[in-house]
């Protein structure tokens, strides 16, 4: 008697074949990002202190007003990191009929909502229709915070042409992308195989 191979379908986040709805690597990455955000939130406070940016080894440099302090301020305000986490926490609570906890400070909100999402990660991965958006948004938020902490410029956007001739912009952080015109899903390596679009001034 033969047993059927375990059924697999595209991971709901990255399209790689997976038996669970979201493959273990993607689940782990979401968990890591949820763990990282409260830590990054605290570290971003350092970016706001003149002379502290860049951390050890680069002290003593004269600091002009930092354009990235404003971005750090944005990420630390209500609606920044907190907004991303609160949005998905509110969505989860609404779907489950739970009451969303309100927190007095942005920092406790970041901690509380990250913890709520983290504790319900399996549920989100198994059921949530927008798990790909959740994963993408968390990854982008973590990436943005890390770049501010490293003082790096945002990653360069690359433009390619979809077989349907739609221009698609992505960065090296992009895991995959659905063409808004023909709806075809392109994985990261598929995107790199597409012909490059002409460089444009915009
Ligand atoms: Zn995956
Ligand atoms: Zn297309």
For the chain, the domains span: 9-154, 155-202
Please give the torsion angle defined by the CA atoms of residues 169, 139, 104 and 49, in that order, rounded to the nearest 10 degrees.
-80
pLDDT of 154: 61
Report phi then psi at 107, rounded to 5: -65, -45
Q: Burial, 26: exposed, middle or buried (Cβ in 10 Å; 0-12, 13-18, 19+)? A: buried
What ligand is nearest to the CA atom of residue 131? 1
Percent of the chain with pLDDT over 70: 83
What would the mean pLDDT of 84-113 be, rounded to a whole number?
96
Q: From the centroid of its chain, how far is CA 187? A: 16
91 confidence band (pLDDT: 50, 70, 90): very high
pLDDT of 158: 86
Closest CA to 23 of 6, 37, 40: 6
Q: What spacing in Å lies between the alpha carbon of 99 and ligand 2's midpoint?
A: 41
pLDDT of 202: 43
107 confidence band (pLDDT: 50, 70, 90): very high
What ligand is nearest to the CA atom of residue 136? 1
pLDDT of 54: 47
What would the mean pLDDT of 171-197 be, rounded to a whole number?
88
- Residues 111, 113: Cα–Cα separation, whole Å: 6
Q: What spacing in Å lies between the alpha carbon of 146 and ligand 2's midpoint?
A: 32
Q: What spacing in Å lies between the alpha carbon of 149 and ligand 1's midpoint?
A: 27
Q: What spacing in Å lies between the alpha carbon of 41 and ligand 2's midpoint?
A: 37
Comparing 27-31, 45-49, 192-196, the range with the smallest average pLDDT is 45-49
What ligand is nearest to the CA atom of residue 164? 2
Query: Per-residue pLDDT for 34 more than 60?
Result: yes
What ligand is nearest to the CA atom of residue 190? 2
Query: Per-residue pLDDT for 61 more than 90?
Result: no
Comparing 28-37, 67-76, 159-168, the range with the smallest average pLDDT is 67-76
**Cβ atoms 161, 197 nearer than 8 A:** yes
Q: CA gyration radius for the chain?
A: 20
């Amino acid at each position: 008697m033969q047993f059927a191979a375990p059924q697999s379908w595209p991971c709901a986040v990255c399209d790689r074949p997976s038996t669970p709805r979201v493959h273990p690597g993607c689940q782990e990455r979401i968990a890591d990002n949820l763990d990282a955000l409260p830590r990054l939130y605290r570290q971003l406070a350092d970016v706001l202190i003149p002379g502290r940016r860049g951390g050890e080894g680069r002290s003593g440099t004269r600091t002009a007003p930092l354009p990235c302090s404003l971005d750090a301020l944005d990420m630390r305000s209500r609606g920044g990191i907190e907004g991303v986490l609160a949005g998905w926490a509110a969505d989860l609570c609404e779907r489950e009929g739970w009451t969303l906890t309100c927190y007095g400070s942005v920092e406790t909100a970041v901690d509380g909502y990250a913890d709520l999402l983290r504790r319900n990660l399996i549920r989100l991965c198994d059921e949530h229709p927008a798990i790909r958006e959740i994963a993408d948004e968390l990854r982008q938020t973590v990436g943005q915070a890390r770049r501010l902490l490293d003082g790096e410029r945002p990653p360069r956007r690359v433009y390619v042409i979809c077989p349907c001739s739609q221009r698609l912009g992505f960065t090296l952080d992009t895991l995959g992308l659905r063409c808004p015109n023909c709806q075809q899903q392109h994985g990261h390596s598929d995107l790199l195989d597409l012909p490059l679009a002409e460089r444009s001034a915009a």
